[in-house]
Amino acid sequence: MPLQPAKSANVFWFLPTHGDGRYLGTSVGAREVDHAYLAQIAQAADRLGFYGVLIPTGRSCEDSWVVASSLVPLTERLRFLVAFRPGLLNPSLAARMAATLDRISNGRLLVNIVTGGDPEENTGDGIFLEHAERYEITREFLGIWKALLAGETVNYEGKHLRLENGNLLFPAVQQPHPPLFFGGSSDIGIDVAGEQVDTYLSWGEPPAAVGEKLAKAQVAAAKYGRKLNFGVRLHIIVRETAQEAWDAAESLISHLDDATIAKAQAKFASMDSVGQRRMAALHGGKRDKLEIYPNLWAGVGLARGGAGTALLGDAEQVSRLMREYMDVGVENFILSGYPHLEEAYRVAELVFPRLNLAHPVASFGQSRNSGPFGETVANAYRPAAQAAG
C-alpha cells in the first residue's frame, strides 16, 4: 500500500570525513579535510538552517563520535547524525556514549546504524560474520541499546550478545532514546528496520522504486505494531540554470578515467550489500546513460560507494524531484555535494525557498548587513530586490 505523501521535510547536509574536492576519482582539486574545514561546513550548515549533518563511518573516515563531539560546542541548533557499526561496540558502551553526547549537545544527537556490507573492511575490523548474521547482531544490539537508554536493567542472552544486570546511570536528554536511523535493502535488513528503528533510509533510486521500498518497510513495521519515518540519501548538483548544473556534473567526473571506474566497480561487486548492488545496477559502470530518471544522475556511483545518485538541475527541477520523493513518503533528505562547503550554500539559497521545510531556516538578525541584498552598489545603494529565478 502506498504511503501518505509527506507535507514537509527535514533537509540534512553531510560532513565529508573521508575526503572532499572538486572532482571525483583524482587528487586534482582535492581539498584538505582537517578539523578547521569540517568546522566550516558544520557552522555553515548550522547558520543556513539545515536540520542536521550526517557523519559517516568506516575505515576511510575519521571517527564519527570524536568528530561530532568536537563540533558540538561550535554549533547551536545543528543535529549530528552519527553513524556507527554495532559489531564494533558492545551495546552498553554505545549507550553510554550516546547518552553522553546527547547531554553535552543538549539533545542534538541522532544515531545512524550501519550494519556494513564490505567483507574486506569487516574482517579488517575483526568482524567475521555472514550477511544475515550481521543483521542478527544488529537486531540484538538495538534491543539492548534501546532498553538501556530507556532506563531498564537489562539481562539478556542471545545468539551473539550477552549482558547481565546492565544499566545506564546517566540518561540521555531525548527519551526514550536518541532517534535511530537505519538503511538496509535486503529482506532481513528491512525486517530489522521494521522492528527496531525510527527512520528507515533508502539510497536514491527513482522515486517509484524508493516508494516501493518504503512501503515494504512500513509493512514490516506494522508486523511489530510500529510505524516508521522515512528518508532518502542523495547527492545534489544545483545551479541557477540547468545547463550550468549539467556542466558541473560533467566537470565532477572529468578526471575519472575508465581504469579507475573499473577498479571501483570491481570493488563494489565484491560486497554483499544488496543496496550497493542496486546502486551499481543503475549505471552498470558506464558513462553513457547516467541520467536514470529525469534530473536523477548516477555519475557519483561510478567511483563512490554507498549513495551514488544526485539530484541534478536548476533549482526548480531539483525541488520538483524532491517533491516527487515527498509524494512517496520521504520526510528526510540527507544530501551532499562537491565541494561540500560551497554546495551547502547553493542548496540553502536555491532550493530551500522552494520546499516546505519542517525546520526553520536561519534568521540573521537586524545587523546592518542583514539581507539578502548582495554587495552595496557604488558604496551607497543596496541592489533592488528581485525574486529568485
Q: How far apart are CA 310 and CA 97, in angstroms?
A: 33
CA neighbor of 114 nearest in space, from 261, 233, 283, 280: 233
pLDDT of residue 43: 98
Return the C-alpha cell found at 180: 535511530
> Which amino acid makes up residue 168?
L
- Helix (H) or strand (E) segment spanning residue 293: strand 291-293
* Residue-by-residue DSSP string for 130-166: -HHHHHHHHHHHHHHHHHHHTT--EEEE-SS-EEEEE
Share of the chain above pLDDT 70, in %: 93
Mean pLDDT of 59-76: 96
Asked whether residue 290 carries a pLDDT value surpassing 70, the answer given is yes
Higher pLDDT, 142 or 274: 142
Asked whether residue 262 carries a pLDDT value surpassing 90, the answer given is no
**What pairs with residue 362 in β-bridges?**
none
Cβ(334)–Cβ(201) under 8 Å? Answer: yes
Which segment of 165-174, 284-293, 328-337 scores lowest on mean pLDDT? 284-293
With 0.85 as the threshold, say if the pTM is over it: yes
- Measured from the Cβ of residue 71, the count of other Cβ atoms closer than 10 Å reads 22
Structure confidence by residue, pLDDT tens digits, 188-242: 999 999 999 999 999 999 999 999 999 999 999 999 999 999 999 999 999 999 9
Return the C-alpha cell found at 285: 559502470
Structure confidence by residue, pLDDT tens digits, 89-114: 999 999 999 999 999 999 999 999 99
Q: How far apart are CA 194 and CA 200, in angstroms?
A: 8
pLDDT of residue 363: 57
Return the C-alpha cell found at 34: 582537517
Q: How far apart are CA 84 and CA 360, in angstroms?
A: 28
pLDDT of residue 152: 98
- Measured from the Cβ of residue 52, the count of other Cβ atoms closer than 10 Å reads 25
**Strands 20-21, 30-31: pairing kind:** antiparallel
Whole-angstrom distance between the N-terminal and C-terminal Cα of the chain? 38
> With bands split at pLDDT 50, 70 and 90, how would you rate the model's confidence at 369?
low
> With bands split at pLDDT 50, 70 and 90, how would you rate the model's confidence at 270?
confident
Backbone angles phi, psi at 55, to 5 degrees: -115, 115
Q: How far apart are CA 238 and CA 236, in angstroms?
A: 6
CA neighbor of 20 nearest in space, from 204, 252, 184: 252
Taken in order of first residue, the domains within the chain and their CATH numbers are 10-354 (3.20.20.30)
Asked whether residue 366 carries a pLDDT value surpassing 50, the answer given is no
Asked whether residue 267 carries a pLDDT value surpassing 70, the answer given is yes
CA neighbor of 245 nearest in space, from 302, 308, 295: 295
Backbone angles phi, psi at 248, to 5 degrees: -65, -35
DSSP state of 348: I
Q: How far apart are CA 79 and CA 110, in angstroms?
A: 7
Asked whether residue 40 carries a pLDDT value surpassing 50, the answer given is yes
pLDDT of residue 116: 72
Asked whether residue 119 carries a pLDDT value surpassing 60, the answer given is yes
